[in-house]
Amino acid sequence: MNNLERISHETMVFMRGNYRLDEIGDGKDELKFKQGAKTILTIYLHEDKYTFLVIFGKKEREVFETRREEFSKYILDYYDGSKTYHDGKWMFIDVTTREQLEEVKRLILIKKKPNRKLFPKENAVYSMCGQRCDLCVHYVGTTEEQRAIMEPHLQKMWGITDWSMRCNGCYSPECYCKDDPCNAKDCAPKKGLAECKECKDFPCIKATSADYRSVIHTEVHYADEITWGILPYVPYQYEK
């Protein structure tokens, strides 16, 4: 990943790992993270940067003022120079480095406490690329009751209606990909590696089918679609 790809990936890991929110893109250059009618964060996409819009109401500003010393001059300049309207202080913050992103993450945590119930790791079953087999609709151990919950959201996310394929995991003789290797089974061995997680480029946006959707986008995805259509399929990121 290049620098902007890493920022994009880490942004989505943070937002989805901490918050259960709808992601409302405009199909062009804007993505909003929303809880009902309330917008928690807006991101504007540019060729050479991302612009994060964080709006602080009165309570958030009071919290920030008690913690000013925790932030760099870069963030303080944005905070002090931003206009305050009837609904709060609008901070448009350009992000081009991971250090800047880390500070924006702390602003978001002031804006809203995490509300994501993470997947537990007890009895987890992992694939070669690190995704959670035991949370996959195709896994043989998934109950029919769980599939009934998952499939409507998967259909909305991926546009696929047939989820009947069954797999027993990468390390079993019944692995679905044994005859037609996936990227994990094809790429890692070519590099002399047993698993994707051993690679210096891990996590890679080619590792799993959902990884390309683990970057900032401008599509529309609702919270339940993300929970069941993306989170189980992105390596090691959304669990306790």
Share of the chain above pLDDT 70, in %: 97
DSSP for residue 85: E
Same structural domain for residues 85 and 162?
no
Does residue 127 sit within a domain? no
**What is the total count of domains within the chain?**
2
Same structural domain for residues 157 and 204?
yes
Q: 92: part of which helix (H) or strand (E)?
A: strand 88-95
Same structural domain for residues 58 and 140?
no
Q: Residue 45 maps to which CATH number?
A: 3.90.1150
Same structural domain for residues 48 and 86?
yes
Whether the predicted pLDDT of 111 surpasses 70: yes
Gyration radius of the chain's alpha carbons: 20
- Band (208; pLDDT cuts 50, 70, 90): low
Same structural domain for residues 107 and 7?
yes
Same structural domain for residues 152 and 107?
no
Whether the predicted pLDDT of 15 surpasses 80: yes
- Which of 111, 146, 163 delimits the end of a domain? 111
Rounded CA-CA distance 111/40 in Å is 7
pLDDT in tens, 140-176: 999 999 999 999 999 998 899 999 999 888 888 878 7
Domain containing residue 229: 133-233
Whether the predicted pLDDT of 4 surpasses 90: yes
What 3 state SS string does 23-77 have?
EEECCCCEEEEEECCEEEEEEEECCCCEEEEEEECHHHHHHHHHCHHHCCHHHHH
| Contact call for residues 124 and 134 (beta carbons, < 8 A) | yes
Whether the predicted pLDDT of 212 surpasses 70: no
Rounded CA-CA distance 52/71 in Å is 16
Whether the predicted pLDDT of 181 surpasses 90: no
Please, how many CA atoms are within 13 Å of residue 225, restricted to the half-sphere of its CB? Answer: 15
Same structural domain for residues 100 and 14?
yes
Same structural domain for residues 210 and 137?
yes
Rounded CA-CA distance 153/148 in Å is 10
Same structural domain for residues 157 and 81?
no
The pLDDT assigned to 203 comes to: 72
C-beta contacts of 191-199 below 8 A and 24+ residues apart: 194/128, 195/128, 195/129, 195/130, 196/128, 196/129, 196/130, 196/235, 197/129, 197/130, 197/235, 197/236
Residues 6+ positions from 40 with CB-CB distance below 8 Å: 19, 21, 33, 34, 108, 111, 112
- Band (65; pLDDT cuts 50, 70, 90): very high
Can you tell me whether residue 89 is helix, strand or coil? strand
- Compute φ and ψ for 12, nearest 5 degrees: -70, -35
- Which of 81, 111, 141 delimits the end of a domain? 111
Torsion of CA 131, 132, 135, 139, to 10 degrees: 90
Q: Is the pTM of this model over 0.85?
A: yes
Q: 223: part of which helix (H) or strand (E)?
A: helix 223-229
Q: Which amino acid is at 19?
A: Y
The pLDDT assigned to 162 comes to: 94
Measured between alpha carbons, how far is residue 240 from residues 18, 96, 101, 117, 121 in Å? 11, 29, 22, 9, 6
Rounded CA-CA distance 45/156 in Å is 24
